Amino acid sequence: MKKIPLTVVSGFLGAGKTTLINQLLAANDGERIAVLVNDFGGINIDQQLLERAAGNVIPLTNGCVCCSIGNDLTDALIQVTSSAPLPDRVIIEASGVSDPWKIAEIGLVDPLLSLDCVLTLIDVGCFLEQLEDSHLVTTLERQVKAADVLVLNKCSLAGPERVQAVRQWLAAHSSGKVIHETNHSRVPVQLLAGLFDEQRFRKLGQQSTGPSDHLHHLSSWSFNTDRLFDHDKLSELLAAMPNGILRAKGLVCTNRHPHETMLLQLAGSSRELGRIDRKRQAQLSELVFIGEAIPDLEGDMTARLRAALV
């Protein structure tokens, strides 16, 4: 059964999560997205899109649904994943102070869902001051650590020196993230949706979205083999990936289960190598990678993969 991609949107209070969510609900690109928000307050849905709200759920005419989390994320998420029809995508707004990874893990454990992306918004104007606050630093660090994509928001207001200072901090404290600079939480939909969709995945590596919002340059490539992987060597490789590999996904065959297919996923700090219900006809492994535009990253990765074959 096809899994529903899960995106977690995180960021401290005031970083711009609600603005981002408003945009997503209005420009859903044909997908039926269920968005779980902490509160409806601030959610600004175009009147044309609004249907009749029923309790904690606001259905929209474009097929999206906005659900308030209320007392319990578990209940709200169950509500949304037991509706008919099921959504095409689920987006959860992590609260301003929670660890988004704790929510993202749902996408790694529930068979109905698949973790697609953790996106953390940063208010560039006050991020560095917030880090000075001993009460906040742990929270902010967790939010950055959990992210695959960091959105530096309110850049024009903060000015280029600020942006640079934040980038320096990020380079020193957490590498391996996709970084996007913007204002008003404007984020290309491909950044948070479709990192696990192989076509969108490749497009991401090639796209530039315009002069004011420049995208960190990425590259994508694929790796294929008809030889078996050594399961233990592949697991070790997954645990020690070279710097610059941001995402990986694909199907592999290993010597532990030679007649079955395994799914390999790498996103942020999560690695997954799991069996799926599919018997392969041929013993083929196909992987797609997205990485930073570092010289010879593809060559390095390919060499390591070859070394992990039987």
Partner 1 sequence: MSQVTVFHAKKIITMNPTQPVATHVAVRDGRILAVGSMADMQGLGSSRVDESFKDKVLMPGLVEGHCHTFGGALWDLPYVGFYDRRGPDGALWKGLKSLDEVVTRLSAHEQTMTDPEEPLLAWGFDPIYFDDARMSVRELDRVSATRPIMVLHISFHLMTVNSAMLKLAGITEDTPIEGVVKFPDGSLTGELREMAAMFPVNRVVSTGLGVSVRDISRKSLYNFAHVAQQAGVTTATDLANRSIEAQLPTLAAVTAEQAFPLRLVPVRLSSGDPANVANEVELIAASKTFNTGKLRLGSVKLITDGSIQGFTGRLRWPGYFNGSPNGIWVTPPERILQLVERYHAAGVHLHIHTNGDEATEVTLDALQSALEKHPRWEHRHTLQHAQMADASLFRRMKNLDVCVNLFTNHIFYWGDTHYEQTMGPSRAAHMDACRSAQLSGTHFAIHSDAPVTPIGPLFTAWCAVNRKTASGRTLGAGESISVMSALEAITLGAAYTLNMDGEIGSIEVRKCADFCVLEEDPLAVDPDSLKDVGIWGTVLGGHLFKSPAAQEASAVNEAALEV
Which residue ranges make up the site for partner 1 (CB under 8 A)? 13, 38-39, 41-42, 55-56, 69-75, 77-78, 81-82, 95-97, 102-106, 108-112, 133, 135-136, 138-139, 270-275
* Helix or strand (DSSP H, E) at 192: helix 189-192
Task: Give the contacts of 80 (CB within 8 A, at least 6 positions apart).
Answer: 34, 36, 65, 67, 87, 90
The least CB distance from residue 228 to partner 1, in Å, is 18
How is residue 104 written in tokens?
Answer: 């993202």
The least CB distance from residue 68 to partner 1, in Å, is 8
* Helix or strand (DSSP H, E) at 297: helix 297-307
Question: Would you call 221 helix, strand, or coil by DSSP?
Answer: strand
If the CB atoms of residues 7 and 28 are measured against partner 1, the closer one turns out to be 7
Residues 115, 103: Cα–Cα separation, whole Å: 10
CB 114 within 8 A of CB 4: yes
If the CB atoms of residues 106 and 248 are measured against partner 1, the closer one turns out to be 106
Question: Would you call 17 helix, strand, or coil by DSSP?
Answer: helix
If the CB atoms of residues 69 and 166 are measured against partner 1, the closer one turns out to be 69
If the CB atoms of residues 276 and 293 are measured against partner 1, the closer one turns out to be 276
Residues 204, 275: Cα–Cα separation, whole Å: 28
If the CB atoms of residues 105 and 198 are measured against partner 1, the closer one turns out to be 105
The least CB distance from residue 39 to partner 1, in Å, is 5
CA 45 → CA 24, 69, 105, 145, 193, distances in Å? Answer: 10, 17, 29, 31, 20
Amino acid symbol at 197: D
If the CB atoms of residues 115 and 151 are measured against partner 1, the closer one turns out to be 115
The least CB distance from residue 281 to partner 1, in Å, is 23
The least CB distance from residue 205 to partner 1, in Å, is 26
Question: Would you call 116 helix, strand, or coil by DSSP?
Answer: strand
The least CB distance from residue 287 to partner 1, in Å, is 17
